[in-house]
Amino acid sequence: MFSGIIEAMGQITEIRSEPPGCRLIVRQAEIARETAVADSISVNGCCLTVIDVAGETFAFQAGPETLARTNLGDLKPSSRVNLERALAVGARMGGHFVSGHIDGVGTLAERRDHGSWSTFWINVPRPLAAQMASKGSIAVDGVSLTIVGSEPDRFSIALIPYTLAVTTLGALQPGGKVNLETDILAKYVQRLVEAKEWS
């Protein structure tokens, strides 16, 4: 379980083919110092298990399902990724409950910059839009954010200068893909509504 508060940006140093998946090697010295094999870390919002730690780097294995259903399959050496370690019991909850299980991939359709602030409009698969509401929570590449506008095929978020500076969202341009995880409560509400129609 995560909070959506990004601890640091890491850099992909190597992507090693391991059919049918691959090994992702990430450099982030501070997190590497405090990470052990089998720890869970959110990488662009996707919960992955650490399989190796070496100096300033740590590694994950990503299978074909993960690579196909997230933006991790688009990563290249030198790509930057958002990192968050799993919540510790008793830690303060600064964002919202994020499971690290990606629901879908969205595409940045429009970026409106207002000085050092930005508003993003992100296109989203319609089934996911049913789990979104204005003022509700959304994790975008692992970043806990509040939905501003919510439409059948897209939603908007307002980004403060700090978020743009310390996460990968600051460099995101139209056409870029982002991992999306809707609010856990929205999933249960949708399921309860669907269940009423079961015979």
pTM higher than 0.85: yes
- Would the pLDDT of 60 be above 90? yes
The tokens of 91 are what?
């830690």
Give, for 190, the enclosing helix (H) or strand (E): helix 184-195
Number of domains the chain is built from:
2
- Domain with residue 138: its CATH number is 2.40.30.20
For 26, 84, 96, the CA distances from 31, given in Å and listed in that order, are 10, 9, 21
pLDDT in tens, 131-142: 999 999 999 999
Q: How many percent of the chain have pLDDT more than 70? A: 100
Instruction: Tell me, yes or no, whether 76 and 155 share the same domain.
Output: no
Q: Is residue 93 part of a domain?
A: no
* Of the residues 26, 50, 85, the one at which a domain ends: 85
Cβ neighbours of 121 (radius 10 Å): 20
| Full domain range(s) for residue 134 | 104-195
Q: Is residue 121 part of a domain?
A: yes
